[in-house]
Amino acid sequence: MRMLPPPGEGRLLAVVLALIVVLGGYLLLVHWWFVAPHLAMAGEISDLRQQEARFRAAVAARADIEARLAQVRAFESGSPSFLPEADFDSAAAALFLRLKDVVTQHAEVPERCEVASHNPKRSMAEERYERVTISVHLRCDIDDFGEILHALEGGKPLLFADELNIYRQQTAARPSAFSAPTSAVPGGSYRLDIRFDLYGYLRAPGPGAGGGRSGR
């Protein structure tokens, strides 16, 4: 004897099976072949419209950007912060002359503060502007050196001191047999042996300026 479902449940099962068949047919025949490509195309169109909007905004801001770049270039060309010379060699020579002038102006006793030597040195650092450096060997009293360093770093064009090394150098005269023994007098019996790098920047692009010349 066969067991048949009640008439009401049979209809419900038939409706469910029909819905499953229709949904499966839609997914297999309609969605993947027609709807999905259109949805992907709509997403691509939306992305393209967003890109177009960004490009239009960039084009609209081009005039403002160019005006700002012109202001920056004008500021750089007229800024006293840069070394005024056109190339490394002339700038290094002018930097040494400025150092000598500052030493002469601020040395209380010229014989006790002098530039022993200097050497130009090209920078290997990747920077936007070309750096001009001279390695300085200076013999000077501590008070005078403080004023010299302040004058160099506090003026225009902008100058910087780096790699500073200071040693004490005894310059006192040998006492005679009849003189009373004395201790070292700060600023009177000792000078400082000072070595440092003094540098500034040209307006010319340095090796880190994105394709600018390196100056080497």
- Tally of domains in the chain: 2
Q: Are residues 197 and 94 in the same domain?
A: yes
> Is 199 part of any domain?
yes
Bridge partners of residue 104, in order along the sequence:
none
Q: For residue 199, what pLDDT band results from cuts at 50, 70 and 90? A: very high
> Is 35 part of any domain?
yes
Contact 184, 170 (CB under 8 A): yes
CATH number of the domain residue 145 falls in: 3.30.70.60
The beta-carbon contacts of 118-126 under 8 Å, at least 24 apart in sequence, are 120/88, 120/89, 120/92, 121/197, 122/88, 122/215, 122/216, 123/199, 123/206, 125/206, 125/207, 125/208, 126/206, 126/207, 126/208
Residue 215's pLDDT is what? 40
> Is 70 part of any domain?
no
Mean pLDDT computed over 38-53: 81
Q: Are residues 193 and 100 in the same domain?
A: yes
Question: What range does the domain containing 113 cover?
Answer: 88-173+188-205
> Is 139 part of any domain?
yes
Percent of the chain residues topping a pLDDT of 70:
66
pTM of the model: 0.55
Q: What confidence tens digit (pLDDT) does each residue in 119-143 have?
A: 999 887 788 889 999 999 999 998 8
146 vs 4, more confident: 146
> Is 67 part of any domain?
no
> Is 140 part of any domain?
yes
Q: Are residues 130 and 200 in the same domain?
A: yes
